[in-house]
């Protein structure tokens, strides 16, 4: 990388005297910051802590399932462990991970703005996240919650003797973090693009976040209302969901999934945005079918609101409702397929380098293919009667959420790590870790498809002995996956203190975020950039001195 | 099959629609492989073929292609429609119980399954059924959501408090199959399972006759109706009765005071007992008190069964709402009363089994024991 540094100097005027990291060292300068980049760092630290906690719960789940009997954990504990794994991973890791960390950091940089439209609201979002997360942690320490992350009624309102309301309130408060972040992104993308940065010059990462923000704003209030209704029934005994006092338990499922299905797209759309960046930039050519990828994100966001009923195929909903939701589910598969085809076509006649982020992109496509295709199994209503509520569905959503979103997040984190910290990580260890994660992930979750078809129900602390072999595979895979996830923690931390200094633009890419120092100054750009090139433009039009860089590279090698 | 192989891959196929579900599964596996292999192959090929030859080289400028976009939008859409249609056909078969079916009532509660045959036998966490007969389960729960799931039959349905849900199946192979609760229901969720015993008709008849049946649901319902709850004081008596006429209403249209017309199905009868003022029948006063909290789910099932029995011509329930002579002789007086007898048919096969085998079945008093004769088959 030292070679690249020499080359880079031509494209960057000069190193700024202070960057956003060195602009103030007090705790106050962090906790009261209005800088989107510092807020992203706050999210990075806290979201990672929640990810680790969720991972600890996951480890206990897999250890318990090593044997058919409920021996390591009794049912009461096991039920809390899987519930808390789900709640923490969904609400406090998957939903904020890419938007709040990478989105917060990069959207202003990518569109050539100094900050988000509402810097104070951005900070407020983080405090909502912390308040919600803190309340949830408090509930977990008090004894936890055992309703499953889905909070199905009437169990959650009438029967559960756990801390449902504290966790519910935690999620309720955390929801405002999502809403405000989404609002901030939408206003920023509309109003703060640099001169020349037209809508169709936006990086696809920004398009994906625009679609995600729409879902955050429109969907999150519904879960907030649902939690309020749940509280009304649990505390004040107003009959809304419990039929014993005049309610309807299915109503809860409609309300819950009306948010929680679109929430799945909050989790995956930003990941797709990251992958579009990686594929295009590491092939060093314009992405294939830019408009189709951009609008497929919007299509996913819109159709995502129309398919919630596919979570309720066996809940007693009518034949016709089932058929309509099955049909719409098939339709929503198409935009995802379009993305995969366009990514593949982008590679054609590219100049592909095998850097770690690209490795993650490759693994993402493989795992997302399996995750998406098994979604068709579950959308096909005749098949899903057998498959739903089994390990097949557990495997499916982990392929999408972990194989998709987490790999995209890790790929993005590696890709922008030099920009965020100004340091380079170990290329060797990062590749090793990526491969370990890929292998461990597949070994963990692929056997669960078979377990599901065998009929093993989810949320079981004990299972029939004939299913043990597959469960042993899964637990073994989880151990490998855990190792693969710990390695990046080590080399990322190492790189902050001992890593090589990163150049402004290590891969010589055209995106605006690469046209400022690493790490960027507090105001992002020394002067407002004027955009005259299309997205992913690797020709001389982009203003990068590519010819010169190539020649210098040859000399320094 | 699944117990012999080291790594089990497929559960046993033991119902009439299990093969359809499996066929759909294989079709989807085929499509998945058909998509994954070429795409991954092409990606890997491009990765090798277009590996960077010069640092910072620029890839070829290709913007996109409307033709390609159309092709790869339309093809996945068409394929997804075949998956939808395949699923719809299979689901239609799973969803619609055939008119002619043996009825069994299921009540879930934390954390057990209580089942009752229409001939009166009760079981807990076990269900004995004959091979080759249509079986329809009418299910509800006393507390939270449950889900009645039999992987070998490839069917499941949520069991929802406050309403009835149904599933049906026709077992094709005698044997012992897992029954699970598949909807999380609290502390001992994973313990809320049991076994389905599918038996040859002859063995089933043996089993049926070997068990003390007590009252059938219809008999129990009649007892509640006429004695315990006193429904008869308003709903019987002919022209002068104050309550709505119940004879012959089942599966027929009922005109409500609100002007609506509804079909009097199980759900309607249930609601009319628990929440009478919500659906007043045209021509009657809203004077019936609610019975909410006064009847258990099992009593409700009995009442519904009794009211159904008042409408003779209900197709399948004719053959299944049976009381055999042997059972009636078991000290039960209400079962043979006039109101009931003309609606109660005697199922010849069950009767024969009862006559031939009474007392000779070693499993006779123990409802929960395994039917050894089927297992060795």
How high is the pLDDT of residue A357?
Answer: 96
Termini Cα distance of chain B: 15
Question: Distance, in angstroms, between B138 CA and closest chain A CA?
Answer: 12
What is the distance between the alpha carbons of residues A219 and A398, in angstroms, rounded to a whole number? 22
Task: Tell me the residue ranges of DSSP E strands in A145-286.
Answer: none
Residue B215 φ/ψ, nearest 5 degrees: -80, 145
Residue B264's region, left for phi above 0, alpha for psi from -120 to 50, else beta, is beta
Number of inter-chain CB pairs under 8 A, A vs B? 305
Distances (CA, A) of B52 to A341, A350, A411, A479, B245: 21, 8, 20, 35, 85
**A448 — pLDDT class (breaks 50, 70, 90):** very high
Q: According to the model, what pLDDT value does residue B274 have?
A: 85
User: Mind listing the pLDDT tens digit for each residue in A51-103?
Assistant: 999 999 999 999 999 999 988 999 999 999 999 999 999 999 999 999 999 99
As a whole number, the mean pLDDT across chain A is 92
Q: Buried b / exposed e across A199-221, counting CB within 10 Å, b at 16+? A: eebbbbbbbbbbbbbbbbbbbbe
In whole angstroms, how far apart are CA A381 and each of A351, A457, B32? 43, 18, 17
**In terms of C-beta density within 10 A (0-12 exposed, 13-18 middle, 19 or more buried), how is residue B308 classed?**
buried
Report chain A's terminal Cα–Cα distance, integer Å: 11
Please tell me the least confidently modeled range out of A108-112, A304-308, A395-399, B251-255: B251-255
CA–CA separation, A251 and A243 (whole Å): 11
In 10 A of CB B3, how many CB atoms? 9
pLDDT for the residue B353 = 37
Predicted TM-score (pTM) of the model is 0.86
Burial class of residue A358 (count of CB atoms within 10 Å of its CB; 0-12, 13-18, 19+): buried
Q: Omega into B111 within 30° of 0, i.e. cis? A: yes
For residue B14, give the 3-state DSSP assignment: coil
Tokens of A117: 């439209």
Q: Is residue B156 domain-shared with residue B263, that is, in the same domain?
A: no
Query: Phi, psi (5° rounding) for residue B113?
Result: -105, 130
From the list B144, B101, B104, B157, the residue with the least C-alpha distance to B128 is: B104
H or E stretch covering B128: strand B126-130
Nearest one of B316, B166, B304, B199 to A318, comparing CA atoms: B166
Q: For A158-188, write each residue's pLDDT tens digit.
A: 899 889 999 999 999 999 999 999 999 999 9
**Residue whose tokens read 């469960």:** A471
pLDDT band at residue A444 under the 50/70/90 scheme: very high
3-state secondary structure of B302: helix
> What are the sequence ranges of the domains in chain A?
2-15+36-556
Closest CA to A101 of A355, A405, A399, A356: A405
Residue A178's contacts (CB-CB under 8 Å, 6 or more residues apart) are A95, A96, A216, A220, A266
CA distance A136 to A84: 9
A319 contacts on B by Cβ (under 8 Å) = 91-92, 95-96
- What is the total count of domains within chain B? 3
Phi-psi region of B31 (alpha: psi -120 to 50; beta: other; left: phi over 0): alpha
In the 8-state DSSP scheme, what is residue B16? T
User: What residue in B sits closest to A545 (Cα-Cα)?
Assistant: B56
The partner residues of B117 in beta bridges, in order of sequence, read B104
Residues B116 and B200 in one domain: yes
Question: With an 8 Å Cβ cutoff, are A374 and B186 in contact?
Answer: no
Structure tokens at A417: 């790590």
- Contact in structure between A374 and A392 (CB atoms under 8 Å): yes
* Binary contact (B144, A285; C-beta < 8 A): no
Q: Pick the residue from chain A with its C-alpha nearest to B158.
A: A315
Nearest-CA residue of chain A relative to B163? A243
Structural domain boundaries, residue B80: 18-46+65-95
Q: What are the start-end ranges of the H helices in A455-536?
A: 468-498
Residues in A touching B24 (Cβ below 8 Å): 380, 382-383
Look at the alpha carbons of A405, A407, A410, A414 in this order and tell me if their dihedral is positive or negative: negative
**Min CA distance, B37 vs chain A (Å)?**
10
- The whole-number pLDDT of residue B338 equals 35
pLDDT score recorded for residue B3: 47
Note the pLDDT tens digit of each residue in A293-322. Answer: 999 999 999 999 999 999 999 988 888 999
Tell me the percentage of chain A whose pLDDT exceeds 90.
Answer: 83
Chain A residues with CB under 8 Å of B95 CB are 319, 322
Question: Where residue A261 falls among pLDDT bands split at 50, 70, 90?
Answer: very high
Give pLDDT tens digits for A6-49: 445 445 556 677 889 988 899 999 999 999 999 999 999 999 99
- For residue A393, the model assigns a pLDDT of 96
Tell me which H or E stretch contains B137.
Answer: strand B134-141
Across the interface, whether the CB atoms of A340 and B39 are under 8 A apart is answered yes
Distance, in Å, from the CA atom of B160 to the CA atom of B142, rounded to the nearest integer, reads 9
Does B310 reside within a domain? Answer: yes
Q: Can you tell me the distance from the alpha carbon of B157 to that of B178, in angstroms, rounded to the nearest whole number? A: 15
Q: Are residues B169 and B192 in the same domain?
A: yes
How far off is chain B from A196, nearest CA to CA, in Å?
Answer: 20
A contact test, residue of B3, B10, B36, B64 with most A CBs within 10 A: B64
For A25-68, where are the alpha helices, taking DSSP H only?
27-31, 36-64
Q: Give residue-wise pLDDT tens across range A147-159.
A: 999 999 899 998 9
Instruction: Name the residue among B8, B72, B161 with its Cβ closest to that of A243.
Output: B161
Q: Are B99 and B320 in contact, with CB atoms under 8 Å apart?
A: no
For A541-548, the CB contacts below 8 A with 24+ separation are A542/A510, A543/A510, A544/A11, A544/A508, A544/A510, A545/A10, A545/A11, A546/A508, A546/B56, A546/B58, A548/A7, A548/A10
pLDDT in tens, A324-378: 999 999 999 999 999 999 999 999 999 999 999 999 999 999 999 999 999 999 9
pLDDT beneath 50, residues of chain B: 1-3, 313-377
Looking at residue A4, its pLDDT comes to 52
Q: Which CATH superfamily is domain A2-15+36-556 in?
A: Cytochrome c oxidase-like, subunit I domain (1.20.210.10)
* pLDDT at residue B5, as a whole number: 59
- Burial call B22-40: b when 16+ CB within 10 Å, e when fewer: bebbebbeebbeebeeebe
The answer to whether residues B221 and B341 belong to one domain is yes
Tell me the chain B residues in contact with residue A5 when contact means C-beta distances shorter than 8 Å.
Answer: none
Q: Omega into A519 within 30° of 0, i.e. cis?
A: yes
Residue corresponding to tokens 């299910």: B139
Residue B152: give its domain's CATH number.
Answer: 2.60.40.420
CB neighbours of residue B348 within 10 Å: 11
B124-142 burial string, b = 16+ CB within 10 Å, else e? Answer: ebbbbbbbebbbbbbbbbe
Q: Please tell me which of the candidates A70, A319, A553 has its beta carbon nearest to residue B95.
A: A319
Residues B175 and B229 in one domain: no
Give the model's pLDDT for residue A557: 56
Instruction: Report the alpha-carbon distance of residue B106 to residue A268 in Å, rounded.
Output: 40
Q: Classify burial at B342, counting beta carbons within 10 Å of its beta carbon; exposed 0-12, middle 13-18, buried 19 or more.
A: exposed
Closest by Cα among B109, B169, B118, B112 to B140? B109
CA distance B199 to chain A (A): 22
Q: Please give the radius of gyration of chain A, using alpha carbons only, rounded to the nearest integer.
A: 23
Residue B21: closest CA among chain A residues belongs to which residue?
A: A383
CA trace torsion B79, B81, B85, B86 (10° rounding): 20
* Residues B173/B140, Cβ–Cβ less than 8 Å: no
pLDDT at A473: 96
Tell me how close the Cα of B240 comes to any Cα of chain A, in angstroms. 33
CA distances from A44 to A421, A504, B221, B338 (A): 12, 21, 64, 77
- Chain-centre distance for alpha carbon A177: 15
Q: Which of A240, A317, A246, A321 is nearest to B271 (CA)?
A: A246
Q: Do B20 and A350 touch (CB under 8 A)?
A: no
Give the integer Cα–Cα distance in Å for B117 and B217: 8
pLDDT value at position B300? 87
pLDDT at A122 over 60: yes
Distance from CA of B134 to the nearest CA of A (A): 19
User: Is the same domain home to B314 and B226?
Assistant: yes
**Rg (Cα) of chain B, in Å, rounded?**
27
Structure tokens at A166: 């504290």
Q: Which of A408, A373, A457 lies closest to A208 in space, CA to CA?
A: A408
A63, A461 contact by CB (below 8 A): no
Q: Are residues B110 and B88 in the same domain?
A: no
Of B58, B91, B186, the CB nearest to A385: B91
């Amino acid at each position: 990388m030292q070679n690249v540094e020499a080359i880079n100097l031509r494209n960057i005027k000069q190193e700024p005297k202070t960057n956003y990291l060195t602009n103030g060292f007090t705790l106050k300068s962090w906790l009261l910051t209005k800088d989107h980049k510092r807020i992203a760092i706050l999210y990075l630290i806290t979201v990672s802590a929640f990810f680790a906690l969720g991972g600890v719960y996951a480890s206990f789940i897999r250890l318990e399932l090593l044997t058919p009997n409920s021996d390591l954990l009794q049912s009461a504990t096991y039920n809390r462990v899987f519930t808390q794994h789900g709640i923490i991973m969904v609400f406090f890791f998957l939903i904020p991970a890419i938007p709040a960390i990478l989105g917060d950091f990069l959207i202003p940089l990518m569109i050539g703005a100094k900050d988000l439209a509402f810097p104070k609201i951005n900070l407020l979002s983080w405090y909502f996240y912390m308040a919600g997360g803190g309340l949830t942690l408090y509930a977990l320490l008090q004894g936890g919650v055992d309703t499953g992350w889905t909070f199905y009624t009437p169990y959650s309102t009438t029967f559960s003797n756990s801390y449902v309301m504290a966790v519910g309130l935690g999620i309720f408060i955390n929801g405002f973090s999502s809403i405000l972040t989404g609002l901030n992104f939408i206003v920023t993308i509309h109003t703060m693009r640099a001169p020349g940065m037209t809508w169709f010059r936006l990086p696809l990462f920004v398009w994906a976040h625009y679609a995600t923000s729409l879902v955050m704003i429109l969907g999150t209030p519904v879960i907030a209302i649902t939690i309020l209704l749940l509280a009304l029934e649990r505390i004040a005994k107003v009959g809304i969901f419990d039929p014993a006092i005049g309610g309807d338990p299915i109503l809860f499922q409609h309300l819950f999934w009306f948010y929680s299905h679109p929430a799945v797209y909050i989790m995956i759309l930003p990941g797709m945005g990251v992958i579009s960046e990686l594929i295009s930039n590491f092939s060093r050519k314009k992405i294939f079918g830019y408009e189709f990828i951009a609008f497929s994100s919007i299509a996913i966001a819109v159709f995502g609101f129309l398919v919630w009923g596919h979570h309720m195929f066996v809940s007693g909903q009518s034949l016709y409702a089932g058929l309509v939701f099955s049909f719409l589910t098939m339709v929503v598969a198409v935009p995802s397929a379009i993305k995969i085809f366009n990514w593949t076509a982008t590679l054609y006649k590219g100049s592909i380098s095998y850097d770690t982020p690209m490795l993650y992109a490759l693994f993402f496509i493989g795992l997302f293919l399996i995750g998406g295709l098994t979604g068709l199994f579950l959308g096909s209503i005749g098949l899903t009667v057998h498959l739903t509520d089994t390990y097949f569905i557990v495997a499916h959503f982990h392929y999408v959420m972990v194989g998709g979103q987490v790999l995209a997040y890790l790929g993005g984190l590696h890709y922008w790590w030099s920009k965020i910290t100004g340091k380079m990580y170990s290329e060797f260890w990062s590749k090793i870790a990526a491969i370990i994660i890929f292998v461990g992930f597949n070994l963990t979750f692929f056997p669960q498809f078979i377990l599901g078809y065998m009929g093993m129900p989810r949320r079981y602390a004990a299972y029939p002995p004939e299913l043990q072999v597959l469960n042993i595979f899964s637990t073994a895979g989880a151990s490998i996956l855990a190792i693969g996830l710990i390695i990046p923690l080590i080399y990322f931390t190492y790189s902050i203190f001992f890593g090589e200094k990163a150049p402004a633009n290590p891969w010589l890419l055209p995106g605006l975020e690469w046209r400022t120092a690493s790490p960027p100054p507090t105001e992002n750009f020394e002067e407002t950039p004027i955009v005259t090139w299309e997205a992913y433009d690797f020709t001389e039009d982009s203003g990068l001195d590519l010819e010169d860089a190539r020649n210098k590279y040859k000399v320094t090698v | 099959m699944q117990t012999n192989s080291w790594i089990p891959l497929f559960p046993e196929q033991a119902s009439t629609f299990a093969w359809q579900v499996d066929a759909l599964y294989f079709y989807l596996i085929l499509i998945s492989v058909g998509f994954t292999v070429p795409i991954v192959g092409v990606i890997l090929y491009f990765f090798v073929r277009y590996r960077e030859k010069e640092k910072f080289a620029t890839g070829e400028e290709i913007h996109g292609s409307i033709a390609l976009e159309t092709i790869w939008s339309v093809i996945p859409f068409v394929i997804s429609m075949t998956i939808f249609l395949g699923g719809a056909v299979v689901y239609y078969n799973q969803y619609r119980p055939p008119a002619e079916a043996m009825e069994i009532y299921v009540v879930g509660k934390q954390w057990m399954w209580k089942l009752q045959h229409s001939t009166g036998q009760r079981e807990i966490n076990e269900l004995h059924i004959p091979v080759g007969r249509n079986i329809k389960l009418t299910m509800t729960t006393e507390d939270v959501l449950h889900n009645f799931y039999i992987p070998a039959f490839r069917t499941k349905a949520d069991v929802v408090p406050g309403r009835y849900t149904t599933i049906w199946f026709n077992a094709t192979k005698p044997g012992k199959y897992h029954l699970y609760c598949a909807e999380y229901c609290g502390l001992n969720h994973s313990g809320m399972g049991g076994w389905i015993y599918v038996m040859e008709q002859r063995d089933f008849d043996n089993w049926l006759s070997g068990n003390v049946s007590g009252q059938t649901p219809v008999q129990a319902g009649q007892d509640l109706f006429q004695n315990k709850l006193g429904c008869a004081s308003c709903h019987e008596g002919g022209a002068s009765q104050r309550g709505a006429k119940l004879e012959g209403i089942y599966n027929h249209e009922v005109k409500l005071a609100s002007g609506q017309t509804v079909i009097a199905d199980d759900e309607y009868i249930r609601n009319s007992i628990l929440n009478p003022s919500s659906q007043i029948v045209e021509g009657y006063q809203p004077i019936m008190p609610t019975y909410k909290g006064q009847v258990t789910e099992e009593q409700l099932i009995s009442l519904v069964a009794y009211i159904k029995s008042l409408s003779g011509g209900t197709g399948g329930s004719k053959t299944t709402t049976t009381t055999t002579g042997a059972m009636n002789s078991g000290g039960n007086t209400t079962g043979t009363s006039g109101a009931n007898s003309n609606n109660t048919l005697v199922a010849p096969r069950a009767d024969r089994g009862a006559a031939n085998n009474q007392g000779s079945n070693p499993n006779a008093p123990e409802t929960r024991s395994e039917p050894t004769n089927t297992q060795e088959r």
